[in-house]
């Protein structure tokens, strides 16, 4: 089965590969490891459509890993704003600087795992796609294809070890990178989460999930837990065409990003409601935002007094607010305050 699956999948990929800005098409020279790595980091928990403009902006501004390594971290964080999962951006800078110090990207899965922020998946993807190494690459799309292909009934996340083991059996020694990208494309376009297009699938005759009659129910997902809802406040302090922004601590929620001052809300607790300045405040409205582990209801409070904020911060011109790199939550709050 393994040889048949890999042969059919590669034939399908040769004819149907998606053209993506970070990808070398079948038959072309291997892509730049920097572009592969950058795209894979951006694509974690993020759609291809959302990543494309960010990838193009990053590679236009920082064309090589050395360029990115030399960039100030705050500039990279600002350019990343809106992609979410901001620890990825912090690790991006750390890894770029590590590669610059090495003089090149490590060309093995084990070597890549030594770089900051590169987990098993990213290291395998870069090793296979950029360097042609045989590596087992399993993202959410591949996970779905393999669970259906082998009709794996154990619910997530427990089934992941079995999925990886099964993926290993069908990963070829040659063209492992094309095979990985072919599996990703198959999951994204044919073996979709809902309404898989089995009649168009090159692996339909080998698919045990299809034989059993209901591939769309695989992989079996554990019931979702309800997310807690936290409450907090963000504070809009405006003065002569500028707004007061602070920089969040380097670690933790939205670490290292510019933001509006807030009252210390977190994934574990509501904000304390303590305002940064005494005086009159008025409510501008409520912003709702969903994080991975919790939802947040953020009340936006506008300052009407004349006191100057204490602590580290900066007055940011309102006509250049889009250059501040506010994360999505605070960009929503800013739009509400400006409205």
Residue range(s) of every CATH 3.90.79.10 domain in the chain: 229-338
Give the number of C-alpha atoms closer than 13 A to the C-alpha of residue 184, restricted to the C-beta side: 22
The pLDDT, as a whole number, for residue 142 is 97
Q: Is 144 exposed, middle or buried (0-12, 13-18, 19+ CB in 10 A)?
A: buried
Q: Which two tokens stand for residue 296?
A: 């947040």
Q: Give me the active site residues, please.
A: 40
Q: Which pLDDT belongs to residue 298? A: 98
Segment 130-152 mean pLDDT: 97
In tens, the pLDDT along 20-38 reads 999 999 999 999 999 999 9
Domain 229-338 class, CATH top level: alpha beta
Token couple for 119: 């987990």
The three-point CA angle 264-269-272 to 5° equals 45
pLDDT of residue 113: 97
Q: Around Cβ 172, how many Cβ atoms within 10 Å?
A: 16
User: 285 falls in which pLDDT band (50, 70, 90)?
Assistant: very high
Domain at 2-217: CATH architecture: Orthogonal Bundle (1.10)
Sign, CA torsion 273/279/283/286: negative
- 225-237: per-residue pLDDT in tens? 899 999 999 999 9
Q: What is the pLDDT of residue 306?
A: 86
Q: Where in the chain is the domain with CATH 1.10.340.30?
A: 2-217
So what's the pLDDT on residue 120?
Answer: 95
Tell me which residue has tokens 């990053």. 58
Asked if residue 1 has pLDDT above 90, the reply is no
pLDDT digits (tens, 9 = 90+) for 55-80: 999 999 999 999 999 999 989 999 99
> What pLDDT score does 177 carry?
96
């Amino acid at each position: 089965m393994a040889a048949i699956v890999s042969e059919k999948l590669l034939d399908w990929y040769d004819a149907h590969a998606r053209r993506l800005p970070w990808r070398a098409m079948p038959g072309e020279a291997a892509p730049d490891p920097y572009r592969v790595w950058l795209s894979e980091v951006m694509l974690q928990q993020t759609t291809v459509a959302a990543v494309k403009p960010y990838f193009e902006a990053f590679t236009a501004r920082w064309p090589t890993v050395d360029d990115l390594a030399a960039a100030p971290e705050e500039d990279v964080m600002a350019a990343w704003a809106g992609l979410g999962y901001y620890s990825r951006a912090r690790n991006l800078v750390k890894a770029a600087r590590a590669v610059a110090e090495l003089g090149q990207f490590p060309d093995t899965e084990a070597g890549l795992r030594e770089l900051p922020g590169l987990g098993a998946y990213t290291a395998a993807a870069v090793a296979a796609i950029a360097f042609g190494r045989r590596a087992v690459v399993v993202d959410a799309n591949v996970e779905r294809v393999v669970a259906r292909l082998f009709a794996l009934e154990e619910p997530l996340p427990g089934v992941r070890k079995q999925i990886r083991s099964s993926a290993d059996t069908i990963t070829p020694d040659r063209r492992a990178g094309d095979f990985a990208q072919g599996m990703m494309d198959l999951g994204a376009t044919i073996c979709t989460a809902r309404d898989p297009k089995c009649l168009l699938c090159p692996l339909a005759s080998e698919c045990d999930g299809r034989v059993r009659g209901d591939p769309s129910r695989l992989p079996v997902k554990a019931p979702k837990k309800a997310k807690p809802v936290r409450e907090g406040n963000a504070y809009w302090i405006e003065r002569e065409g500028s707004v007061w922004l602070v920089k969040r601590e380097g670690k933790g929620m939205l670490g290292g990003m510019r933001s509006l001052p807030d009252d210390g809300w977190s994934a574990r607790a509501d904000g304390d409601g303590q305002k940064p300045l005494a005086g009159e405040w008025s409510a501008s409205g409520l912003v709702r935002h969903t994080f991975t582990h919790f939802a947040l209801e953020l009340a936006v409070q506008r300052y009407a007094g004349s006191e100057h904020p204490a602590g580290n911060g900066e007055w940011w011109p309102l006509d250049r607010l889009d250059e501040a790199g506010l994360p999505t939550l605070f960009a929503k709050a800013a739009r509400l305050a400006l409205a």
